[in-house]
Amino acid sequence: MHRLDRSRRSLAIALSALAGFVDASGFVANGGYFISFMSGNSTRMAVNLASDMRRALVPAGLILGFVLGVALGTAVAARSGPWRKVAVLGMVCALLSLGALTHGTVVAQGALVLAMGALNATFQREGEGSLALTYVTGALVKAGQALGGQKVPGAGAGLALWLGLVLGGVGGAAMGLHYPEAGLWLGAAWAAVATLAAIRITRQ
């Protein structure tokens, strides 16, 4: 994160906020299951396996969908050359739009979790590294290491990602509680704007 220039760093923070937005709105709609936070779903699956194995199918399906989304995004990025960000974000936008169109169905859940998995493939280039956008535990670990006196490059930038995720989550929860369908369309529009920003960055 700290190695990115200002425009790419701003894009990363905006995308982390998008992940928080979609995850929080999905959490509200799905009765406590996550769209992009797979550590949480893994814990839910473990608890369900110990109490009611049939209920474990829901988090297991979400985890599988997320992994497939990462794989899909990685494959698209690898085949798109310098336009990989545009290609990946365009796909994310299409999947979020499908989720909005099929709101309240299993198809919508699948589209949203695929989109959040694919989002993590946005920054995959030698020199940029592979930047996680939908989970920020690593950023908090770095912040703790810095507080403990260790010299940790990028600790502040990681906290910016975390803050973006939290603020996006606040907005997503509010939309999910009061305007769930409109919230999905807002997420798709957010991804569309990010795609346009990626086009501009690529042309620079």
pLDDT tens, residue by residue, 94-112:
999 999 999 999 999 999 9
* Rounded Cα–Cα distance for residues 145 and 169 (Å): 25
Distance between CA atoms of residues 130 and 127, nearest Å: 9
**DSSP one-letter string for 18-86:** HHHHHHHHHHHHTTS--SS-HHHHHHHHHHHHHH-GGGGHHHHHHHHHHHHHHHHHHHHHHTSGGGHHH
Extents of the domains making up the chain: 6-203
Q: Does domain 6-203 have CATH number 1.10.287?
A: no
Chain segment 2-54, per-residue pLDDT in tens: 677 789 999 999 999 999 999 999 999 888 899 999 999 999 999 999 998 99
